[in-house]
Chain A
Amino acid sequence: MGFLGVFLPSFGIDPAAGSDQFTLTAWKQLFHSAEFWSGLSLSLFIGVVSTALSYWIATSLVIACFGSHWFDRLNTFIAPILSIPHVAISIGLIFLISPSGWLVRWFSPWLTGFERPPNWLIVQDPQGWSMILALVIKETPYLVFAIMAALSQLDARSRIQTAKILGHTTISAWHGTLLGPLYRLVRLPIMIVLAFSITVVDVALIIGPNTPSTLAVTLLRWFNDPSLMLRGQASAAAIVLACGVVCMMLLWEACYFIYDKLRKYVTLSGDGITNIRPLTWFSALVGSGIFLLTALTLIVLPIWAFAHRWRFPDTWPSQFSLNTISRLGQRLFELSMSSLSLALVSGFVALLISLVLLERERRFLQSKLVTTMMLFTVLMPQITLLFGIQVGLLWTGWNGNWWSVLLLHLIYVLPYVYLTLKAPYLAFDERILQQANLLKDSPIKNYLLIKLPLLKVSLSAAFALGFAVSMAQYLPTIMSGEGRINTLTTEAVARASSGDRKLVSSLALIQAFLPLICFYLATVMPKHWTTWRVALRRKFC
């Protein structure tokens, strides 16, 4: 339905706009638009460069930390960062690197001599480097997480040791024995990052270039054009964007194929890979810098939120106060409740649907159809799919209410919850449940009281991820909410360029804080749940 909803309007058939004549006008208009070509090249450039940088830095960081106590620490650092929305990171980054940001303040005026913010074009630069930085900050931890999970399947330690005993250095051992098989396991996360980086809207609106914008932002503007004249052109652009993603994936695979061949040739050449060692350590150092930047972006948000007066070039606010929070208390509360209700309900419903789908899969069939559909949703550009769905919603007149927003959130929450839960759910030892059923003839009760509690760690992790995904949704909320349903994310993006740093930082802070709390509870509670339950029973029963 989503794809049809953009495919037909691009050829002039748009029931929502009252046209049903087949025409190629939209495509002609699109290909004659200079904004389209510049937006497309910018989107592809930003997507590919940020993904390549994230992958290279993530790999280097893992190589540098592997086998040391830093490897476990890396694991601990990463998990909470994953739950923080892109929007919060992007806003924090602006407050950090902009000409009037915290970094410049640290060195002003004593080193730079600046009494006023310099006239530098650092954020929203025309080439998109600040957006690339924001994407690298957010995607590197995700790829490190994926690489670490894949390493546990590869018996990495013994591979490295064997290669070293055969006389290879650490770098050569990694390239010769691990990175090839590792890539096959992390291909999907890389493709998700690539597709996301090319098509992302919220990050691009906050920190991306606007002269011109990326294609995703441009076509969002075309779609929202009040005259409805640009809808066909926007639909055509949405299809091109989806094709662009597929082309970039194929190009990425082709480049990786050549790189892998070259790497194998060098590794097997007789003296192994030696000359990229400094580059790997440098990239690992950059990776550490990325984590430092992430920490700083999260530190600068509460400082701005509680700052009363913070003039340039002061390093710290001259006064702190709760004025912003109390002035906006009611509004922040409403937005938080709106975000929370959507995130809780969509996370819970996605968990229920996933359990039904997985139980069906376990009992009756090991079909790849569901997984393929889920992956399609994750890899397909959000903007392309959602425009199509929006056309359908408009056509049925079911738009602009809480339920339609929930439905669209669910479309994106479900794949993440399902894919996270799939492996642990299917790996559950069914003999335990069989034993319970032999002991007590109430299968549903046994399922709820025996199987689900035993899966509580995976269930809460999947729910927390679903919660975080919902909290971060921007496009689904504005497209189906039509401005009537606002969340912390939509408000933060809308206000990002308003100049009211205290308001924006408060929004971003709460937006980052809620998934973090959910993630923390999901990590801590299942571990202690049984102990707490037994302790309570002892006390009161």
Chain B
Amino acid sequence: MLTLKNVYIARDHAPIIAPVSETINAGEVLALMGPSGVGKSSLLAYLSGTLPSGLSGHGEVTLEHLAIQDLPIEKRQLGLLQQSPLLFNHLTVEENLLFAYKSPESRFLRKQAIRSKLEEIGLEGLEHQLPQHLSGGQQARLALLRTLLAKPKALLLDEPFSKLDHSLRAEMRELVLDAIQKTQVPTILVTHDQEDADLMATRVYSLRSI
């Protein structure tokens, strides 16, 4: 369960969005909508700990009853999927996934697990490719798989489908929804596309500026 209590973003101590208080239960998807520039992505950045300097975030964020807003990024156990897949181009597909897949299992078992996951999303046989040699759709799937392999306790989606064409977008939506159902993680989806919200969200929250 991910809870936001009076969370808002400020610039020079002046709030730029109205405070948000919401609880997202396991497997739920909260769509965060609002006009461009209102601060949707900044809110996600505050949750993930990547807020750029110049902006400050306020309010309490709890994940499974643990306040995470002051924790370092790597301790928050959140997954973040953005427009750009942000893959590491100097590592192969398999190495990108190994980087995220932390487990006490042996390297051999982890590699086996990765190969079967790659098969599930239709990327079998590509484990030794470099990410820049994959298509846009393949890169998006790889980014999703990498995020899930880190076993996040909540998922933040920052317009992850906006760069994809229509057919790829539908395919990715399905994959992401399927992953959310399987892992039962609470999810926040930032989008300006009503179709994304209609097809994926359990609830929609309209963010207001001040």
A residues at B contact (CB < 8 Å)? 158-159, 161-170, 173, 176-177, 180-181, 264, 267-272
Contacts and interface: CB of A to CB of B under 8 A. Distances in A.
B195 interface: no
Interface stretch (B12-20, B24-32, B99-107, B117-125): B99-107
A64 to B, nearest CB: 15
B201 interface: no
Contacts of A267: 99
Given A158-B86, A165-B48, A181-B90, A176 B74 contact: no
Given A158-B86, A270-B110, A164 B95 contact: no
Nearest to A173: B74
- Most chain A CB within 10 A, of B89, B90, B105, B110, is at B90
A173 B73 CA distance: 12
Contacts, number: 66
B79 interface: yes
Contact of A164 (B72, B101, B103, B146): B72
B73 A164 contact: yes
Contact of A271 (B77, B89, B102): B102
Nearest to A179: B90
Interface string B30-49: 00000000000000000011
27 contacts: A158-B84, A159-B86, A159-B88, A161-B50, A162-B86, A162-B88, A165-B50, A165-B76, A165-B80, A165-B150, A166-B74, A166-B99, A166-B147, A166-B150, A167-B100, A167-B150, A168-B99, A177-B88, A177-B91, A181-B89, A267-B99, A269-B107, A270-B101, A270-B102, A270-B103, A270-B107, A270-B110
* Interface size, B (range): 20 to 34
Contacts of B49: 164
Contact of B99 (A161, A169, A170, A268): A268
A177 B150 CA distance: 16
A167 B75 CA distance: 7
A165 B73 contact: yes
B103 A180 contact: no
Nearest to B76: A165
B78 interface: yes
A270 to B, nearest CB: 5
Given A166-B74, A269-B107, 18 more contacts: A158-B86, A162-B80, A164-B49, A165-B50, A167-B77, A168-B74, A176-B88, A177-B88, A177-B90, A177-B91, A181-B89, A181-B90, A264-B91, A267-B99, A268-B95, A268-B99, A270-B104, A271-B102
Nearest to B100: A166
B142 to A, nearest CB: 13
A169 B90 contact: no
A165 B90 contact: no
B183 to A, nearest CB: 16
Contacts of B95: 264, 268
B78 to A, nearest CB: 7
A165 B102 contact: no
- Most chain A CB within 10 A, of B76, B84, B88, B110, is at B88
B98 interface: yes
A252 to B, nearest CB: 20
Contacts of A270: 101-105, 107, 110
A268 B73 CA distance: 19
Interface string B100-136: 1111110100100000000000000000000000000
